[in-house]
Structure 1
């Protein structure tokens, strides 16, 4: 018996969330784990939802300079004008866009009461805690239930309270699973099935990217 080696999704477009950002020597260094695609020095990447395009100057992993980064590599790279929580994607293959909301399959694990359509918990979906509002709900065999409770499973329309970028399960499986938290407890888990994306805002290109 053996474990099958995980196939790295290098054939998919670049997509990686920025979890931590550091200021080093006057530059901006995002640090995160690669999820899909390939990242190389000299590439032009666009960050959503701020819609900033910048050139990747260099890539390092554990103080070692890399010629390219692959999925599951924990890397840092030198760019400018980005924020924690932004999503970086290759602007030549799949331009990232701000999400107006998304539809998710949610399983309620442990909630002391009832969850209605005005519920606003915190989600951890490849980025730090972000508040989301439960909008419309659809349980199995019941359309538009008045509330959800522990052990229920439902399809829920959710709306983020901050400007964020999300992807759906069919395109980027590593980026769509999330826990739902309230009062420092995990009360539910979910998977993003579809995303309602807004039209892209005016793109800002950094000076270094213009010179490249």
Structure 2
């Protein structure tokens, strides 16, 4: 983000100095992101655009899905709004093994991403500087083989996934080809839309295929956050999933049924005449306080098939980390786009084979 101009040099230098003073010099970049997050949470208006940078082809918005187990809820919120997942695995001795072990996070994150509909994947094999010996080809190949076999079981096609050996700290293969890994001839991907290849992580981002954007459907914009910005007012933020959002639209927020007019729509610091699916935007609304809106609400056009709250619905459910038995009356927390809400399985109608989609049992007592 920093090298592509998403954060200014002054900010980095300030955080570098603080990190040094606290003996955390080696965490400079992680520190920057955490510091900005903390400031954002304290309500200092930090520009939401800090997480963006430009490549030769795209504007990239980073949703920093935290890796910590306690953050699974936030990770679901973030991941459900992504076009592509970049799975970072650590190449250090023991670190990779811990992540890919039966209860490891690498597994859980890859499975969550696929289950939440993120069908494009890039794998960054990080910390190549800390392998034995440093920048080891055999370690990279070992990890590539193991991760390929795992993601294939989930449903990804490894041939369509770029595997890039990197060192985020030293910058190897991030933006420019590294001189430390002469053995790496580059990554290649094959998909029905064609082939792509390159040496660095940024080129792998440029090889992402933009998904088809459903502009013809009714507007749906799940809120990721709501900010109060001095001199402007209430600014909900989220990604347009379907439809088009324009200034002047009379939006309704479901399920609270709050209606208001959109004054302006902004992305990458620029006012937009319209936001289309895939755009992560902030929009300013009239006469609604920050307290009335919350993450998980969905904005729609009050005049065109607006979203409405529902007390029940029929769903297809995939179970991860199965608790042993699930029967009618089971009460999980439902994570729906950016919302988290307690619910109950009123009746289990059928059991379906995940890979074929065929029903294997009707009205099962339990699964």
Q: What is the TM-score when the length of structure 1 is the normalising length?
A: 0.64
Please give the alpha-carbon distance, in whole angstroms, between the structure 2 residues aligned to 1:110 and 1:49: 30
Q: How do residues 145-160 of structure 1 correspond to structure 2 at under 5 angstroms?
A: 145-148=364-367
Match in the other structure for 2:311: 100
1:138 aligns with 2:349: yes
- Tell me, yes or no, if the aligned pair for 1:9 and 1:37 is still in contact at 8 Å: yes
Larger proportion of strand: 1
Match in the other structure for 1:35: 241
- Structure 2 unmatched ranges of 5 or more: 1-193, 196-207, 351-358
- Tell me, yes or no, if the aligned pair for 2:297 and 2:339 is still in contact at 8 Å: no
Pick closer, same or farther for the CA change 1:95–1:67 going to 2, 3 Å.
Answer: same
Please give the alpha-carbon distance, in whole angstroms, between the structure 2 residues aligned to 1:18 and 1:30: 6
Larger RCO, structures 1/2 (Cα 8 Å, 6+ apart): 1
Q: How do residues 76-91 of structure 1 correspond to structure 2 at under 5 angstroms?
A: 76-79=282-285, 80-81=288-289, 82-84=292-294, 85-91=296-302
Pick closer, same or farther for the CA change 1:50–1:5 going to 2, 3 Å.
Answer: closer
1:12-53 per-residue CA deviation (whole Å, 9 max, x = no partner) reads 111111121011126211000111111111111111111111
Match in the other structure for 1:25: 230
2:264 pairs with one of 58, 64, 69: 58
- What number of residue pairs does the alignment pair up? 148
For residue 62 of structure 1, report the CA deviation from its aligned partner: 2.2
- Tell me, yes or no, if the aligned pair for 2:266 and 2:282 is still in contact at 8 Å: yes
- Tell me, yes or no, if the aligned pair for 1:19 and 1:126 is still in contact at 8 Å: no
1:121 aligns with 2:327: no
Larger proportion of helix: 2
| RMSD of Structure 2 on Structure 1 (CA) | 1.9
Q: Which has the larger radius of gyration?
A: 2
Q: What is the TM-score when the length of structure 2 is the normalising length?
A: 0.38
For residue 129 of structure 1, report the CA deviation from its aligned partner: 2.2
Please give the alpha-carbon distance, in whole angstroms, between the structure 2 residues aligned to 1:86 and 1:92: 18
For residue 4 of structure 1, report the CA deviation from its aligned partner: 6.2
